[in-house]
Amino acid sequence: MSKIDDRLIKGYQKFRDTVFESDRALYEELASSGQKPHTLMIACSDSRVLPQQILSAGPGDLFVVRNVAAMVPPYERDSGYHGTSAAIEFAVTVLEVDNIVVMGHAGCGGVASVIDHSMPTDSFVHNWMRPLREWLRAHEDFDEQDDAESKRMLERAAVHLSLQNLKSFPFVRERMEAGTLSVIGFIFDIHNGDLSQVRAKQKITLDVESLG
């Protein structure tokens, strides 16, 4: 059996002695009554981006799924393993969340790999990022920007693409059309803590609106 890293043990002990004890009643209520999160959060797995911390969310508030680059794949019905799609389905049809938030971030390595071609073509990451590569090939003028700017814009394009892919899920589209589900895109800037909403105008001329 692998030895547990002392940092993990100390981290848990701190949580148990402080956070859990201060919120014990809330945890007991959630344990007995079940969860009713208001938002499905689809965020990047990046260790520097903590959705609950960024949004000051507590236990029971967010149903969180994290993956490389916060990507939402297109709706597919086959026998493959669709972890993100399963989380979306559960959040929307079982938990009946009010919102779906896709949170990308500045300096995303998954997005950068699409431009830098830094991942082997037989890697899981390369295959996972295929929808964004296809988007990039369909927008040939996109690469005319400088490298830093193109990565910044592609991070926003990734969020927009995920928002569009969410609409390909019938149960998401149905609730959106009924006005009972909001779908929102965010970009978090690790450098300055700024949170912006991604807005798409004509085609994919991307703009953002700071929420600070």
pLDDT tens digits, residue range 17-48? 999 999 999 999 999 999 999 999 999 999 99
Exposure letters 19-56 (e unless 16+ CB within 10 A, then b): eeeeeeeeeeeeeeeeeebebbbbbbebeebebeebbe
At 110 the pLDDT is 97
pLDDT value at residue 210: 60
pLDDT for res 145: 60
Q: What is the pLDDT of residue 176?
A: 97
Residues comprising the binding site for Zn(2+)?
44, 46, 105, 108
CATH number of the domain located at residue range(s) 35-210 in this protein: 3.40.1050.10
**pTM for this structure?**
0.91
Question: Residue 193 phi/psi, 5° resolution?
Answer: 80, 10
- Residue numbering of the annotated binding site: 44, 46, 105, 108
Give strand pairing partners of 104. 187
What is the structure's pLDDT at 18?
A: 96
pLDDT in 10s for each residue of the chain, 212 residues: 789 999 999 999 999 999 999 999 999 999 999 999 999 999 999 999 999 999 999 999 999 999 999 999 999 999 889 999 999 999 999 999 999 999 999 999 999 999 999 999 999 999 999 999 999 888 876 655 667 888 899 999 999 999 999 999 999 999 999 999 999 999 999 999 999 999 755 344 445 556 65
Q: What is the pLDDT of residue 147?
A: 79
Residue-range domain boundaries for the chain: 1-34, 35-210
pLDDT at 149: 83
